[in-house]
Amino acid sequence: MKLKLWQVDAFAVGPFAGNPAAVVPLESWLPDSKMQAIANENNLSETAFFVPRGDDRYDLRWFTPVTEVALCGHATLASGWVALNELSKSSKLVRFETKSGELTVEKDKNGYLRMALPSDKTVPFAAPPGYAAELGQGLGVAAPDELHIGRYVLAVWRDAAVVRAIKLGDISGVMDKADKWGLIASAGGATTAPYDFISRFFAPSHGVPEDPVCGSAHSSLTPFWGKRLGKRQLRAYQASARGGELLCTDDGDRVILSGPCALYMRGEIEL
Protein backbone atom coordinates (compact mmCIF):
# COMPACT_ATOMS: atom_id res chain seq x y z
CA MET A 1 0.00 0.00 0.00
CA LYS A 2 1.34 3.41 -1.00
CA LEU A 3 0.24 6.78 0.39
CA LYS A 4 1.20 10.16 -1.00
CA LEU A 5 2.85 12.61 1.35
CA TRP A 6 3.70 16.29 1.11
CA GLN A 7 5.95 18.16 3.53
CA VAL A 8 5.09 21.85 3.56
CA ASP A 9 6.69 24.67 5.52
CA ALA A 10 3.81 26.81 6.78
CA PHE A 11 4.21 30.56 7.38
CA ALA A 12 7.37 30.51 5.28
CA VAL A 13 8.33 32.16 1.97
CA GLY A 14 10.85 29.38 1.30
CA PRO A 15 11.94 26.02 2.68
CA PHE A 16 13.83 25.69 5.98
CA ALA A 17 11.73 28.36 7.70
CA GLY A 18 8.30 28.50 9.28
CA ASN A 19 6.77 25.31 10.62
CA PRO A 20 7.05 22.02 8.70
CA ALA A 21 3.98 19.81 8.53
CA ALA A 22 3.46 16.47 6.81
CA VAL A 23 0.20 16.18 4.88
CA VAL A 24 -1.21 12.77 3.95
CA PRO A 25 -4.42 12.69 1.87
CA LEU A 26 -6.45 9.50 2.29
CA GLU A 27 -9.43 7.92 0.53
CA SER A 28 -10.71 6.64 3.89
CA TRP A 29 -9.42 6.67 7.44
CA LEU A 30 -6.63 4.34 8.48
CA PRO A 31 -6.70 2.83 11.98
CA ASP A 32 -5.73 5.46 14.54
CA SER A 33 -2.70 3.40 15.55
CA LYS A 34 -1.43 3.45 11.96
CA MET A 35 -1.84 7.22 11.62
CA GLN A 36 -0.08 7.70 14.95
CA ALA A 37 2.77 5.46 13.79
CA ILE A 38 3.14 7.52 10.60
CA ALA A 39 3.22 10.74 12.61
CA ASN A 40 5.83 9.28 14.92
CA GLU A 41 7.92 8.18 11.95
CA ASN A 42 7.67 11.65 10.38
CA ASN A 43 8.77 13.16 13.72
CA LEU A 44 7.42 16.62 12.88
CA SER A 45 5.34 18.68 15.26
CA GLU A 46 2.24 17.67 13.28
CA THR A 47 1.16 15.25 10.57
CA ALA A 48 -2.23 16.03 9.02
CA PHE A 49 -4.51 13.42 7.46
CA PHE A 50 -7.61 14.31 5.48
CA VAL A 51 -10.40 12.41 3.73
CA PRO A 52 -12.52 13.97 0.95
CA ARG A 53 -16.22 14.68 1.43
CA GLY A 54 -16.73 16.28 -2.02
CA ASP A 55 -17.11 19.89 -3.21
CA ASP A 56 -13.73 20.97 -1.76
CA ARG A 57 -14.67 19.67 1.69
CA TYR A 58 -12.56 17.31 3.76
CA ASP A 59 -12.48 15.69 7.17
CA LEU A 60 -9.16 16.63 8.80
CA ARG A 61 -7.22 15.25 11.77
CA TRP A 62 -3.81 16.08 13.24
CA PHE A 63 -1.25 13.96 15.10
CA THR A 64 1.93 14.95 16.92
CA PRO A 65 4.62 12.26 17.23
CA VAL A 66 2.85 10.96 20.35
CA THR A 67 -0.86 11.90 20.29
CA GLU A 68 -3.81 13.29 18.34
CA VAL A 69 -4.71 16.94 19.02
CA ALA A 70 -8.00 18.80 18.70
CA LEU A 71 -6.62 21.83 16.83
CA CYS A 72 -3.51 22.60 14.81
CA GLY A 73 -3.19 25.78 12.79
CA HIS A 74 0.00 25.39 10.78
CA ALA A 75 -0.88 21.86 9.60
CA THR A 76 -4.32 23.16 8.56
CA LEU A 77 -2.63 25.86 6.49
CA ALA A 78 -0.31 23.23 4.98
CA SER A 79 -3.28 20.96 4.24
CA GLY A 80 -5.02 23.87 2.54
CA TRP A 81 -1.92 24.47 0.45
CA VAL A 82 -1.87 20.83 -0.70
CA ALA A 83 -5.60 20.79 -1.46
CA LEU A 84 -5.57 24.09 -3.38
CA ASN A 85 -2.22 23.77 -5.17
CA GLU A 86 -1.82 20.04 -5.76
CA LEU A 87 -5.23 18.35 -5.68
CA SER A 88 -7.72 20.97 -6.87
CA LYS A 89 -5.80 23.77 -8.57
CA SER A 90 -8.90 25.56 -9.86
CA SER A 91 -10.36 25.98 -6.38
CA LYS A 92 -9.91 29.11 -4.27
CA LEU A 93 -11.29 27.90 -0.93
CA VAL A 94 -11.32 24.62 0.96
CA ARG A 95 -13.34 23.62 4.03
CA PHE A 96 -12.13 21.20 6.67
CA GLU A 97 -14.40 19.49 9.20
CA THR A 98 -12.44 18.92 12.41
CA LYS A 99 -12.78 18.30 16.14
CA SER A 100 -12.73 22.10 16.46
CA GLY A 101 -15.53 22.66 13.96
CA GLU A 102 -15.26 23.87 10.38
CA LEU A 103 -11.98 25.52 9.40
CA THR A 104 -11.48 27.26 6.07
CA VAL A 105 -8.38 28.03 4.02
CA GLU A 106 -8.50 30.31 0.98
CA LYS A 107 -6.08 31.94 -1.42
CA ASP A 108 -5.81 35.71 -1.17
CA LYS A 109 -4.88 38.16 -3.91
CA ASN A 110 -1.22 38.22 -2.78
CA GLY A 111 -0.79 34.47 -3.15
CA TYR A 112 -0.87 33.98 0.61
CA LEU A 113 -3.30 31.65 2.34
CA ARG A 114 -5.95 32.91 4.78
CA MET A 115 -7.07 30.53 7.49
CA ALA A 116 -10.00 30.99 9.89
CA LEU A 117 -9.68 29.43 13.36
CA PRO A 118 -11.99 29.63 16.38
CA SER A 119 -10.97 32.50 18.65
CA ASP A 120 -9.74 31.60 22.14
CA LYS A 121 -10.30 34.29 24.76
CA THR A 122 -7.91 34.06 27.70
CA VAL A 123 -8.59 35.19 31.27
CA PRO A 124 -6.18 36.09 34.09
CA PHE A 125 -4.78 32.95 35.70
CA ALA A 126 -5.08 32.77 39.49
CA ALA A 127 -2.01 30.57 39.74
CA PRO A 128 -0.89 28.82 42.94
CA PRO A 129 1.70 30.68 45.07
CA GLY A 130 5.17 30.52 43.55
CA TYR A 131 3.86 29.37 40.17
CA ALA A 132 5.33 32.26 38.14
CA ALA A 133 8.77 31.86 39.71
CA GLU A 134 8.70 28.10 39.14
CA LEU A 135 7.71 28.60 35.50
CA GLY A 136 10.49 31.14 34.97
CA GLN A 137 12.99 28.71 36.51
CA GLY A 138 11.84 25.96 34.12
CA LEU A 139 12.40 28.33 31.19
CA GLY A 140 15.73 29.69 32.41
CA VAL A 141 14.52 33.29 32.65
CA ALA A 142 12.89 35.68 35.10
CA ALA A 143 9.34 34.97 36.21
CA PRO A 144 6.66 36.22 33.79
CA ASP A 145 5.05 39.57 34.56
CA GLU A 146 1.55 38.22 33.85
CA LEU A 147 -0.18 34.85 33.60
CA HIS A 148 -3.36 34.17 31.63
CA ILE A 149 -5.14 30.96 30.70
CA GLY A 150 -7.36 29.70 27.91
CA ARG A 151 -6.71 26.77 25.63
CA TYR A 152 -3.09 27.07 26.81
CA VAL A 153 -1.20 28.87 29.55
CA LEU A 154 -0.16 32.33 28.33
CA ALA A 155 2.87 33.84 30.08
CA VAL A 156 3.60 37.49 29.28
CA TRP A 157 6.81 39.45 29.76
CA ARG A 158 7.28 43.21 29.32
CA ASP A 159 10.62 42.73 27.55
CA ALA A 160 10.78 40.72 24.32
CA ALA A 161 14.43 39.91 25.00
CA VAL A 162 13.33 37.64 27.84
CA VAL A 163 11.05 35.65 25.51
CA ARG A 164 13.86 35.28 22.99
CA ALA A 165 16.25 34.12 25.75
CA ILE A 166 14.08 31.21 26.95
CA LYS A 167 15.84 27.84 27.11
CA LEU A 168 13.32 25.11 27.80
CA GLY A 169 13.97 22.99 30.85
CA ASP A 170 11.55 20.87 32.87
CA ILE A 171 8.13 22.54 32.97
CA SER A 172 6.07 19.38 33.44
CA GLY A 173 5.23 20.17 37.06
CA VAL A 174 3.97 23.69 36.43
CA MET A 175 1.98 22.58 33.39
CA ASP A 176 0.33 19.83 35.44
CA LYS A 177 -0.68 22.42 38.06
CA ALA A 178 -2.47 24.40 35.35
CA ASP A 179 -3.98 21.25 33.78
CA LYS A 180 -2.75 22.42 30.36
CA TRP A 181 -0.32 20.84 27.92
CA GLY A 182 0.70 23.92 25.94
CA LEU A 183 2.58 27.06 27.01
CA ILE A 184 2.67 30.35 25.10
CA ALA A 185 5.44 32.82 25.98
CA SER A 186 4.82 36.30 24.61
CA ALA A 187 5.68 40.00 24.71
CA GLY A 188 4.17 42.91 22.84
CA GLY A 189 4.42 46.64 22.28
CA ALA A 190 7.52 48.79 22.02
CA THR A 191 10.09 46.03 22.58
CA THR A 192 8.75 43.91 19.70
CA ALA A 193 8.88 46.48 16.85
CA PRO A 194 8.33 46.17 13.89
CA TYR A 195 5.92 43.47 15.10
CA ASP A 196 2.95 44.06 17.36
CA PHE A 197 3.90 41.02 19.41
CA ILE A 198 6.24 38.03 19.41
CA SER A 199 5.76 34.59 20.90
CA ARG A 200 7.12 31.12 21.39
CA PHE A 201 5.19 27.90 22.04
CA PHE A 202 6.12 24.80 24.01
CA ALA A 203 4.31 21.45 24.35
CA PRO A 204 6.87 18.88 25.57
CA SER A 205 4.28 16.46 27.00
CA HIS A 206 2.80 16.14 23.49
CA GLY A 207 6.13 15.40 21.83
CA VAL A 208 6.72 19.00 20.70
CA PRO A 209 9.40 20.61 22.90
CA GLU A 210 9.10 23.84 20.87
CA ASP A 211 6.70 24.37 17.98
CA PRO A 212 8.37 26.61 15.37
CA VAL A 213 5.21 28.53 14.39
CA CYS A 214 1.95 27.66 16.17
CA GLY A 215 -1.29 28.74 14.51
CA SER A 216 -3.53 27.65 17.37
CA ALA A 217 -1.48 29.73 19.82
CA HIS A 218 -2.26 32.78 17.69
CA SER A 219 -5.97 32.12 18.08
CA SER A 220 -5.31 33.09 21.72
CA LEU A 221 -2.66 35.74 21.11
CA THR A 222 -4.63 37.69 18.51
CA PRO A 223 -7.61 38.63 20.71
CA PHE A 224 -5.29 39.15 23.70
CA TRP A 225 -2.94 41.61 22.01
CA GLY A 226 -5.66 43.06 19.80
CA LYS A 227 -7.60 44.19 22.86
CA ARG A 228 -4.50 45.41 24.69
CA LEU A 229 -3.10 47.34 21.73
CA GLY A 230 -6.46 48.52 20.37
CA LYS A 231 -5.91 46.88 16.99
CA ARG A 232 -7.93 44.54 14.82
CA GLN A 233 -5.03 43.60 12.54
CA LEU A 234 -1.64 42.72 13.96
CA ARG A 235 1.77 41.67 12.68
CA ALA A 236 3.19 38.77 14.66
CA TYR A 237 6.49 36.95 14.76
CA GLN A 238 7.14 33.57 16.35
CA ALA A 239 10.69 33.79 17.63
CA SER A 240 11.72 30.15 17.32
CA ALA A 241 14.99 29.10 15.70
CA ARG A 242 13.20 28.74 12.33
CA GLY A 243 11.02 31.82 12.82
CA GLY A 244 7.75 32.72 11.14
CA GLU A 245 5.67 35.81 10.35
CA LEU A 246 1.87 35.99 10.52
CA LEU A 247 -0.72 38.60 9.73
CA CYS A 248 -3.46 38.18 12.34
CA THR A 249 -6.99 39.59 12.25
CA ASP A 250 -9.37 39.57 15.20
CA ASP A 251 -12.73 38.77 13.59
CA GLY A 252 -14.85 38.29 16.68
CA ASP A 253 -15.46 34.60 17.23
CA ARG A 254 -12.86 33.78 14.56
CA VAL A 255 -9.20 34.62 14.14
CA ILE A 256 -7.91 35.00 10.58
CA LEU A 257 -4.26 34.08 10.08
CA SER A 258 -2.52 34.84 6.79
CA GLY A 259 0.83 33.67 5.55
CA PRO A 260 2.73 31.89 2.79
CA CYS A 261 3.60 28.22 2.48
CA ALA A 262 6.64 26.64 0.85
CA LEU A 263 6.75 23.12 -0.53
CA TYR A 264 9.72 21.13 0.74
CA MET A 265 9.00 17.58 -0.42
CA ARG A 266 6.65 15.29 -2.31
CA GLY A 267 6.95 11.62 -1.46
CA GLU A 268 5.32 8.24 -0.90
CA ILE A 269 4.80 6.16 2.21
CA GLU A 270 5.16 2.38 1.92
CA LEU A 271 2.81 0.45 4.22
List residues with catalytic annotation: 46
Please list the residues that pair with 115 across neighbouring strands.
Answer: 105, 257
Q: In DSSP terms, which residues pair with 19 in a beta bridge?
A: 10
SS3 content of the chain, % helix, strand, coil (to 5): 25, 40, 35
| Rounded distance between C-alpha atoms, residue 246 and residue 257, angstroms | 6
End-to-end CA distance of the chain: 5
SS3 state of residue 22:
strand
For 66-94, letters b (16+ CB in 10 Å) and e give ebbbebbbbbbbbbbbbbbbebeeeeeeb
The CA distances from residue 86 to 32, 103, 143, in Å, are 25, 19, 46
Q: Which residues touch 257 (CB under 8 Å, ≥6 apart)?
A: 73, 77, 114, 115, 117, 215, 218, 219, 222, 246, 247, 248, 249
Dump the DSSP string for 220-270. HHHHHHHHHHT-SEEEEEE-SSS-EEEEEEEETTEEEEEE-EEEEEEEEEE
Alpha carbons 167 and 141: distance in angstroms, whole number:
8
